[in-house]
Every structure is written in C-alpha cells, then in structure tokens.
Amino acid sequence: MGLEQKAGDLGVVTARLEDVVNWGRTSAMWPMLFGLACCAIEMIATQSSNYDASRFGMELMRPSPRQSDLMIVAGRVTRKMAPVVRRLYDQMPEPKWVIAMGDCASCSGVFNNYALVQGVDEIVPVDVYIAGCPPRPEALLNGFMTLHEKVKKEKLATWS
Amino acid sequence: MSQIQEVEASINELKHLFSPAAMTGETMVLNLGPQHPSTHGVLRLMLELDGEEVVTCVPDIGFLHTGIEKNMEYKSYLKALVMTDRMDYLNNMGNNLTYCLAVEKLCDISVPERATTLRIICAELQRIASHLIWLGTSGIDLNASSMLMYCVRERERILDLFELISGQRMMTSYIRPGGVWRDVQKEFISGVEDFLAYFPDKVADYERLLTNNPIFIGRTMDIAVIEPEKALEYGMSGSSLRGSGVNYDVRRAMPYCGYETYDFEVPVETGGDVYARYQVRIAEFYESMKIIRQAVDRLKKQNGPVTSEDRKFSPPPRSELHTSMESLIHHFKLWTEGFSAPDAEVYAATESPRGELGCYLVGDGGPKPRRVHFRTPSFLNLQALPYLSEGYLVADLIAAIGSIDIVLGDIDR
Ligand code: SF4
C-alpha cells in the first residue's frame, strides 16, 4: 500500500546505512522475559492489554537470553542474584542494551542494606535508568523511546 | 584443572540431595531457574528426572532476599510501613494491614469504624487483583495466553482505584497505624460500585474459557494432589489448603477488622489437585465481591474520622498546623522521632490472597521495633512443592507451581 504509492516506480531508494540499520534495530528490539521483583509486575502490565508494548515492536519477550536484544532489569538485584544477572548479560548476543527499571535497579531505592547490590550498574552497563517505585507503565514506555532515540544516534564506528 | 576441581566440589556438596542413580547417570539432574518464565519470579529448582518424570525436586530460594525485616528494625514504626508494601508485591494493602494491626495491638490504638470499613474494601480489592495476576500467569503456564490479557485489563481498574485514593498504583502505603492515610473521594465509592457491576461478567467469561475446557482439565485434574493431612503437616494455608478440603480461613478463625459481621462463604473443594485450587480461587472472586458490596453499603452510612484521634500516634491534619501549637509539636515529634511502643510482643494475622500472613512484632520501649518477623504464606506453601511434584511430569510441575500461587518477594523478603 503506502510505500508503493509514494515511491512510485522509482525502484531505488537511497539512505545512509547507519540510518537503515539503526531503524531496523529499534523497530524490533526483543526484551528478555526476566522479572526480579515488584517492578516486573508493572512490566507485565506494560506488555499486556492496556499499555501494549507491541506498538514499539517489543511484544515478543524471549525467555532465552540468546534470542534477546534488550535486558530490562525489573526489580531489586540481590547479592545472590548478581552473578546470574551478569551471566545472562554475557549470554546475550551483541548488540545489546540494558534498561534499569525502577529505583532498586538504578540505586537500590529504599533498601540501603547488606543484601542488595546498590544499583545494577555495578555489574552490567546500563543505557537508560527509569525512576519510580515502581515506575508507571508510561514511564517504562518513555524509557523504551529514550533508548530508541539513543540507538538511532549510534554511528557506524560504535557498532559492535 | 581448577575448574574441574570446582565442579567436583560443587557436585560433592549437592550429592546428598539426590538419589545415587543421579551419580551414575541413570537419572538426569536439571536446573530450572532462577531465570525461568514459569517459576513466577526468581525461584530456582533442582530437579532429578527419570525421563520426563520428576524424581526429586529441591527448591533453592533466597534470590530475592532484601533484608526487609532487618531494615525495619532501624526505622520508626511509621516509616517501617513503606517496607511492608514491597514484601509481597501482589498484596500491598494486605501487608500494610497486617503490620498496622500488629502495631495497633502493641500500642493499643483504637481505629475508627469508617477506617475499618475502608480497610476491608481495600484488602478485598487487593485480593481480587492478586488472584487476577495468579489466573493470568498460571494461564500462560498452561498455554492459555489470552488469560493474562483479560486479567490485566480488569486489574488495571483496581489499580486506578488505588491510585485515586493513595496516589500510587502498587506501593500504596495507604493503610497506616491508627486508620488510613486520608478519607476517600466520592468518586472512589462510585468507582468501586462500577467495578462491582462490571466484574461478575468478566469472571463468568474466564470460567467459560477455562472451567470446562478439556485441555485445561487435562492439564490440571488429578495433578499435584495433596491430601488434607499432608497439607496441614506442611503448614499450608489459604486457597491452596482449602483446595484440599480444610476449612481454614483467618477471616473466620481469628476475625480481624470485624470480618465476623460480614456475610460470606469460605469456598472449600475436596479434590486437592490443581483444578480444585483453581475452583477455590474463582469462587473467592465472588465472595470478595460480596464482602465489598456490604462494606460499601456500610461506608455510605458511616461518617466521621478515618484515623485515630489519639495525637500521640496519628499525625494531626495539616490544616491544624498553622493554628495550634500542640498540633505542631505532635507533628514534629511524630515525623522526627516517632511514637514509642511498650516492651512487649504481639502477633497479628490476616488472610492474604495466599494464606495466613502473620506479623510478629517486638517493641523495646523506644520508637523502633526490636524485631519484626513475618510469617509469610508463600514460604510455607512452597515447602509442599517437592511433595506436590514428585512422581509427576515436568509439565505438571509447572502447573503445580502456578497452583500454589507463590510470590518470591513473600518468600525471601
Ligand atoms: S523499585 Fe520499588 S517496585 Fe521496583 S523492585 Fe524496587 S521496591 Fe519493588
């Protein structure tokens, strides 16, 4: 429909490779199906009927890290869980991104104690932090859009 | 070399958990979790499998241990309240309520009638919301994926109501020692009534999708059976226990908040299998609605304060601060030091969506508790999981995890 009408019989479209690849990367970014605590419930809400993350090409949550591009750390990361989170991150293929969802994942929130890793950025690199305890689904969607903007600006030289 | 030694050491450490057949390779040891979509959080299970049959199942918990109980010892009674929200994150209002009941018992605070009615409405709405998440997620486990979409849609309406009264969707901290945070708007009452009018049809829809569905029945009937004696031995409670035919509900056995004055049934099924536990929870939707309906009728007739007038424990309204010296002092005292509780110990229990949720609280005469301990239902229900799953297939184990409705935040705290 739309594209054929607009492009007419041009047959050729020129674009920068960066733009095309980054457009592709943002349009089908599959998150890992991986919840830790309370924030995961809001992540489920974001994925479900009312907020519908599939508008962002993110409805397909992969239970396996091998098939996912994005890790949403939804909840508090305990010291016992930290090695697992790191291993999951290592198992994801490049390119990969991380969203720290909620106060606990960003800085351990209201729990400043012996049991928690004080922010998941101590163990994995984080691209986007989302504040809130828990963040509303809208906030998570905003986090997705922020990440997309970041990815769209990536340069050929920074691709890995 | 060192890696091999490490592996050997960990095998020797875990050897006693499994049968000797696992060491010869006759059976297989499989690790499930902590990142697994069907374990409802960060539960890890070590399974010994004979073909597809579960021989041994060893749960490994603690992946979400947050130190909440310890943290509460370092906060005043009022500030410790926000910790309880984050424990069992599907039953936030219920956790608030349990903790507040314990504090009120310890300090002998009386709660106004209107606040009690509001508490009941909130607790029962929360029960419905929690059961909805249970129905949705255990639906997904059994390949009924559309259930989650329907259930979350209804749950959002409850969260909207909570947001209306407390400003937060999940971590409400609305129920406070001495009453509730503040009075509800009239939109809340009409909102609850709308919900009550809207929801029964939806439950009927769920039942049409599942109750007589041959696939669902095949996956749940006679699966993960537990007899009433065994269930009691394991210390199970809540809907999982009532699915085995034991009529035990804290709202009846040790009434709190005046539940004895409400007219409702305690649904009991005798099957003891996954299907029976499903039936109990579906019936509880209707009973909760019944309770809310009665509570809303009472609420309309009740006027007056929603928090205790005892200024030693509950902060004065903001409007008084500019005109009354006493209020200012109380406000300052409560928000800096907090109130002191006697050197005594209490236990208060409520019926959470998962079972008996108890709070054991020890005061030390000062403004901070000496010890706070929660008797959480998921922890005890999980103990029965090996019994529930051994001898069944791996797929049945997934159904069993869903049916005992565990929340890892509730287990590890
Ligand atoms: S940020 Fe709040 S809601 Fe999220 S995991 Fe931490 S305590 Fe739970």
pLDDT digits (tens, 9 = 90+) for B20-43: 777 777 888 888 878 777 677 788
Residue A1 inside a domain? The answer is: no
Same domain? B137 vs B45? no
Host domain of residue B42: 11-60
Residue A18 inside a domain? The answer is: yes
Residue A48 inside a domain? The answer is: yes
Any atom of ligand 1 within 6 Å of the Cβ of A75: yes
Looking at the partner chain, which of A38, A115, A136 has a beta carbon nearest the beta carbon of B86? A38
The CA distance from A83 to B206, in Å, is 40
Looking at the partner chain, which of A37, A45, A114 has a beta carbon nearest the beta carbon of B67? A114
A40: its two tokens: 């995961």
Residue A66 inside a domain? The answer is: yes
Which CATH number belongs to the domain containing residue A147 in this structure? 3.40.50.12280
Same domain? B49 vs B164? no
- Give residue B42's pLDDT: 85
Residue A89 inside a domain? The answer is: yes
Looking at the partner chain, which of B41, B66, B90 has a beta carbon nearest the beta carbon of A116? B66
- Identify whether the C-beta of residue B361 lies closer than 8 Å to the C-beta of residue B368: no
Same domain? B215 vs B312? yes
Q: How many domains does chain A have?
A: 1
Model confidence at B307: pLDDT above 70: yes
Any atom of ligand 1 within 6 Å of the Cβ of A102: yes
Residue A32 inside a domain? The answer is: yes
Average pLDDT over residues A49-68: 84
Average pLDDT over residues B227-248: 89
Same domain? B46 vs B101? no
Residue B300 inside a domain? The answer is: yes
Same domain? B42 vs B109? no
Residue B93 inside a domain? The answer is: yes
Among A43, A73, A77, A104, name the best residue to mutate to test ligand 1's pocket (greatest count of ligand atoms within 8 A of Cβ).
A104
B405: its two tokens: 């409705």
Query: Predicted confidence band at B130 (pLDDT cuts at 50, 70, 90)?
Result: very high
The answer to whether B140 contacts chain A (CB < 8 Å) is no
Cα torsion angle, B398, B402, B405, B411, sign:
positive
The CA distance from B308 to B107, in Å, is 12
Nearest CA to ligand 1 atom 5: A75
CB contact under 8 A, A111 and B133: no
- Give residue B7's pLDDT: 74
- Give residue B128's pLDDT: 93
Same domain? B116 vs B225? yes
Average pLDDT over residues B136-158: 88
Nearest CA to ligand 1 atom 3: A134
Same domain? B75 vs B40? no
Any atom of ligand 1 within 6 Å of the Cβ of A39: yes
Residue B3 inside a domain? The answer is: no
Q: How many domains does chain B have?
A: 2
Residue B328 inside a domain? The answer is: yes
* A9: helix, strand or coil: coil
The full length of chain A comes to: 160
Region of poorest pLDDT, from A12-16, B360-364, B387-391: A12-16
Average pLDDT over residues B248-266: 89
Angle at A42 between CA B66 and CA B349, to 5 degrees: 50
CB contact under 8 A, A38 and B89: yes
Residue A5 inside a domain? The answer is: no
How much of chain B exceeds pLDDT 70, in percent?
99
Global pTM?
0.90
Average pLDDT over residues B291-315: 87
Same domain? B246 vs B347? yes
Same domain? B232 vs B351? yes
Residue B4 inside a domain? The answer is: no
Residue B5 inside a domain? The answer is: no
* Residue in B with minimal Cα distance to A39: B89
Give phi and psi for B179, each to the nearest 5: 155, -135
Average pLDDT over residues A28-52: 87
Any atom of ligand 1 within 6 Å of the Cβ of A135: no
CA distance B170 to chain A (A): 7
Average pLDDT over residues B135-141: 87
Query: Predicted confidence band at B219 (pLDDT cuts at 50, 70, 90)?
Result: confident
Same domain? B310 vs B174? yes
Same domain? B23 vs B119? no
Same domain? B30 vs B169? no
The CA distance from B315 to B335, in Å, is 8
- Give residue B141's pLDDT: 84
Does the N-terminal peptide bond of residue A95 adopt cis geometry, omega within 30 degrees of 0? yes
- Give residue B27's pLDDT: 84
CB contact under 8 A, A115 and B149: no
Q: What is the mean pLDDT of chain B?
A: 88
Model confidence at B1: pLDDT above 60: no
Host domain of residue A86: 14-152
Which CATH number belongs to the domain containing residue B134 in this structure? 1.10.645.10
- Identify whether the C-beta of residue B342 lies closer than 8 Å to the C-beta of residue B326: no
CA distance B185 to chain A (A): 22
- Give residue A13's pLDDT: 76
| DSSP code, position A93 | P
Highest mean pLDDT among A31-35, A101-105, B302-306 belongs to A101-105
